[in-house]
Structure 1
């Protein structure tokens, strides 16, 4: 990905934002960004949209995407659509599009040349069904990070780990110091995400793609995946004593030195930023767990339900354009901790961890996210399995792997 000069892009962006539509309107936007860092980031989107003369009506839904999505879908299918709604890159809105409930953005995308500015190409591919574009990507979020509290390791009297093996080896010293080695919140998606990260780091991306891309049951049941389940067993042992539900509560344990580390997506950076912590000084980040520096190209996009109100429909188009405006992309992603979807913006203000992500992205060391590879039904089966695995020490790695292979055998 090329990150060139931002000056010209900002000039274009300022001109675009200064032009208010002939008729302004309120537009409700639903999302699940409610933590401190997320709220700061979404405020940048609202500010940019309000600058067009329209007004962002915030429809934040507390909880994770798993909590929010059924509410969003129910409103759309029940005839009470919002103006725009967040979904993750992938197949979460597929059935809504197929039912004719979501707006086609192809004309706007062609006009603004989204195919030329959005990188990697897989992001726009995830928005495309039957050759038509139905969403506006806003960021690239990657799951493949281990966040470490420098203060926790100093208290435990051991060096800050450089990779997963060193982290596991440091766990006894952390526990002796009264520190939970690995913070994992109680929501099912957190355990599932941690497992997927371990899979890329321990087994490599080829195994990841054979299992989730090709739905290869034999590989899922094989020796490389057995190593991953052994690592997951280590992870659940180290996470004992976390005793929090939300991901940002687990992140706060790292921020306050109550936990040594957390496997979590780069959105965790927003929480470190709000807490005033500095990357490389107060906390350390290990992309790919310090083993395989590969990141997934997951993240968020906004979809626009079809509306009968003509003025709100016009405002939808303004919002979609604003979300991809270079000025908005920089302001939002710096606060969110994610990477921009535009390949022509410069993030000179990025911290050390964001620069690591940009470098990995520039090298092309990326994989698709499981949201892009699996249906929501298959994802739910995975979440049920790993929620049980992390909560029940009597469920052996061998039995869990057997059940995992069965899920993959019928995955779509």
Structure 2
């Protein structure tokens, strides 16, 4: 059977198109951005990558603080099939670097002039042995308190700036028949409240000594005991259904007026935004009680893993460049609730919570009160952080005394 020349050329075109489609470079990204605001943010990155001719292979693993994602990543790396990129951060980047599995992305950093647009506190975290192995996505402030002003008005309370005002507001909200503190009883959420309490009770220098340097005297000190006493009091304002509740469901309680306040990082703002709520009107963001002059940070990042083909390596560099672009930094952080990690991004579209976060980050950086979050994997290695988190969770779920908790905390930091 003879084919007409036009039919032959059509067939050749179809075959070449199929080959091209098959050969389209792709990048597989393991992440745990799965809640409403987060999913919206990651969809924007997917769009940007596809516009650059790189297919996005999504590997989303639900679970607020990324424990499930970490387990999945370990399994993939051990099986010799690491994804091109994975959402990991802080000291965990160094731990993966020591395993010899991370890829060098210095070329993307040079092209994007990262050294001139990122603060040193960020670049230090993104490098292993002097080479970039990860790209930062954003900066989250952890020590926020989210407040529903309608609930405050109903209760005749005001937004607190210190713990005396916080407990006064909590009492009034409770008397009004509403939940004072929205919370999810998961270890990482317990640790999120705890670190803000330690900062509010002890101040920036005490926080650094106790939770970053793991100074034994500080961990078992009267100030730490007072921190646990304060945490014990906060426990009394959390509803009985909190056990196992996801953080975004706790945020929804504040959004819907069922609860008055929530201790949570600014990813919570992404939920308010996704629900069409306006900062300063429908919800308030205030620093956690007593922490107005300090800032605990959590930097999300994508670490790049060694991949075999040159095409995949090129796709990794494309991904790193896209993440650091001002366009992505703007759209991602508007959806996520965080602030851009790089300089040169317009503030025009950011709300009052974000601009306050930007100003406070700059001020606390100068005042030596910009601190890595313990609860979110920025302060210490994962083994010690896990041991400390276990103590906090035990305290939250038992009748353990503040004195016993402080002793257990010191022991956990020492024995690992």
**In structure 2, distance between residues paired with 1:79 and 1:95:** 17
**In structure 2, distance between residues paired with 1:400 and 1:235:** 16
The Cα of 1:290 is off from its aligned counterpart by 5.2
**Cα pair distance change 1:285/1:140, threshold 3 Å:** same
Q: Does 1:391 align with 2:397?
A: yes
The Cα of 1:236 is off from its aligned counterpart by 1.4
Q: Does 1:146 align with 2:150?
A: no
Give the corresponding residue for 1:405: 410
**Cα pair distance change 1:293/1:42, threshold 3 Å:** farther
**In structure 1, distance between residues paired with 2:51 and 2:282:** 36
The Cα of 1:242 is off from its aligned counterpart by 4.5
Segment drifting more, 357-366 vs 181-190: 357-366
Q: Which string of whole-angstrom CA distances, capped at 9 and with x for unpartnered residues, describes residues 270-289 of structure 1?
A: 00001111111111111243
**In structure 2, distance between residues paired with 1:228 and 1:30:** 36
**In structure 2, distance between residues paired with 1:266 and 1:289:** 15
The Cα of 1:78 is off from its aligned counterpart by 1.6
**Cα pair distance change 1:231/1:294, threshold 3 Å:** same
Q: Which has the larger radius of gyration?
A: 2
Q: Which string of whole-angstrom CA distances, capped at 9 and with x for unpartnered residues, describes residues 271-328 of structure 1?
A: 0001111111111111243543322232211011111122111111100111001111
Segment drifting more, 34-43 vs 174-183: 174-183
**Cα pair distance change 1:122/1:137, threshold 3 Å:** same
Give the corresponding residue for 2:81: 80
**In structure 2, distance between residues paired with 1:190 and 1:321:** 32
| TM-score, with structure 1 as normaliser | 0.90
Structure 2 unaligned regions, length at least 5: 1-22
Would you say the 8 A contact 1:204–1:292 is kept in 2? no
Q: Which string of whole-angstrom CA distances, capped at 9 and with x for unpartnered residues, describes residues 27-70 of structure 1?
A: 21111011111111111211221221112222111112112111
1:197-346 equivalent positions in 2, closer than 5 A:
197-243=196-242, 245-289=245-289, 291-346=291-346
Would you say the 8 A contact 1:123–1:297 is kept in 2? no
Secondary structure at the counterpart of residue 372 of structure 1: coil
**In structure 2, distance between residues paired with 1:51 and 1:293:** 42
Would you say the 8 A contact 1:146–1:262 is kept in 2? yes
1:96-245 equivalent positions in 2, closer than 5 A:
96-119=96-119, 121-243=120-242, 245=245
Q: Which string of whole-angstrom CA distances, capped at 9 and with x for unpartnered residues, describes residues 177-236 of structure 1?
A: 221111120211000111011111221110111113322100111122222112111221
Secondary structure at the counterpart of residue 88 of structure 2: strand
Give the corresponding residue for 1:382: 388
Total equivalences in the alignment: 386
The Cα of 1:382 is off from its aligned counterpart by 1.6
Secondary structure at the counterpart of residue 302 of structure 2: strand
Would you say the 8 A contact 1:83–1:304 is kept in 2? yes
**In structure 2, distance between residues paired with 1:52 and 1:29:** 16
Would you say the 8 A contact 2:105–2:131 is kept in 1? yes
Would you say the 8 A contact 2:161–2:288 is kept in 1? no
| TM-score, with structure 2 as normaliser | 0.89
Would you say the 8 A contact 1:200–1:292 is kept in 2? no
**Cα pair distance change 1:48/1:165, threshold 3 Å:** farther
**Cα pair distance change 1:373/1:158, threshold 3 Å:** closer
**Cα pair distance change 1:274/1:290, threshold 3 Å:** farther
The Cα of 1:111 is off from its aligned counterpart by 3.4
**Cα pair distance change 1:62/1:372, threshold 3 Å:** closer
RMSD over aligned Cα, in angstroms? 1.7
Would you say the 8 A contact 2:196–2:291 is kept in 1? no
